[in-house]
Amino acid sequence: MATETFVLPGDTIDTEILPSHPTLPLKLGPGLRHIPPNTITSTVAGQLCTDKRKNAVWVEFNGSRYNPMVGDLVIATVQKGDRDYHFCSLSDYTQNASLPQLSFEGATKKTKPQLNTGALVYARVTLANKHMEPELECVSSSTGKSDGLGPLTGGMLFSISLAMARRLMHPKPVEQCNLVLLDAIGEGGVPFEIAVGRNGKVWVDSKNIKTTLAIGKAIQDTDTKSLTVEDQKKLAKKIVKDS
């Protein structure tokens, strides 16, 4: 269960409201900066959210520019490649990221995925530094498994706000994010897959183009029109009926 407090840029975060896990290190998310040795300040205005279970803290805000952070899951678009790397776009006004050719489960020089310009990949940020281009991976460095990362084939890509991306990636509990759209569509018997990137991208795939478009547009409408829970349920029923 997360708790929320409103903060302004430059506010020092009281250590008493920070989560304290016996084994996990404290994870700072978007909107926060660590000033050694022990000071944490906010860089934006928004809701300070803490998750004791994950020992994480972040500021919930609707910024327009994505700033990569280590550990972020993103949907990247391949722009070009060479023998060793793919170079991928994350979002407008964000520096392109590099993705090693062999950073895929089971990849070798002979079996690495062939990704053309425009191909989509679901990846994790492994390096984020304002002085260097971001680096990505599509495989866990500790297990060698993809863990759901890798090329995204078929489906369609939709742009959403950074705040909506965070809501989609933390959909539980419903009471906190008021997001029931996807659960309602699934409960209606419509099969679909999604991948959500913290860079404001969501990939949707379903049984046909019409349904895929409907789900993607419904996510965007929920985002831009701030649909209530009841409005989302009505929209989900329409998608189920038309599918």
Question: Greater confidence, 88 or 22?
Answer: 88
Inter-residue contact 215 to 223 (CB < 8 Å): no
pLDDT band at 53, cuts 50/70/90? confident
Cα–Cα dist 33/55, whole Å: 16
Question: Greater confidence, 50 or 242?
Answer: 242
Is the model's pLDDT at 116 over the cut of 90?
Answer: yes
pLDDT value of position 103: 93
- Mean pLDDT, the chain, rounded, equals 89
pLDDT band at 4, cuts 50/70/90? low
pLDDT value of position 156: 98
The pLDDT tens digits of the residues spanning 203-240 come to 999 999 999 999 999 999 999 998 999 999 999 999 99
Q: Of all residues in the chain, what percent carry a pLDDT higher than 90?
A: 59
Q: Of all residues in the chain, what percent carry a pLDDT higher than 70?
A: 95
Inter-residue contact 66 to 162 (CB < 8 Å): yes
User: Could you give all domains of the chain from N- to C-terminal order, each with its CATH number?
Assistant: 2-60 (2.40.50.100), 73-153 (2.40.50.140), 157-242 (3.30.1370.10)
The pLDDT tens digits of the residues spanning 125-166 come to 999 987 889 999 999 877 878 989 999 999 999 999 988 998
What is the SS3 assignment for 152?
strand
pLDDT band at 173, cuts 50/70/90? very low
Inter-residue contact 211 to 192 (CB < 8 Å): yes
Cα-based distances in Å from 142 to 44, 68, 123, 145, 198:
33, 21, 15, 8, 22
Inter-residue contact 122 to 138 (CB < 8 Å): yes
pLDDT value of position 171: 54
Is the model's pLDDT at 172 over the cut of 60?
Answer: no
Inter-residue contact 24 to 33 (CB < 8 Å): no
Provide the b/e sequence for 90-109 (b: ≥16 CB within 10 Å): bbeebebbbbbbbbbeebee
Model confidence, pTM: 0.80
Is the model's pLDDT at 200 over the cut of 70?
Answer: yes
What is the SS3 assignment for 42?
strand
Cα–Cα dist 191/118, whole Å: 26
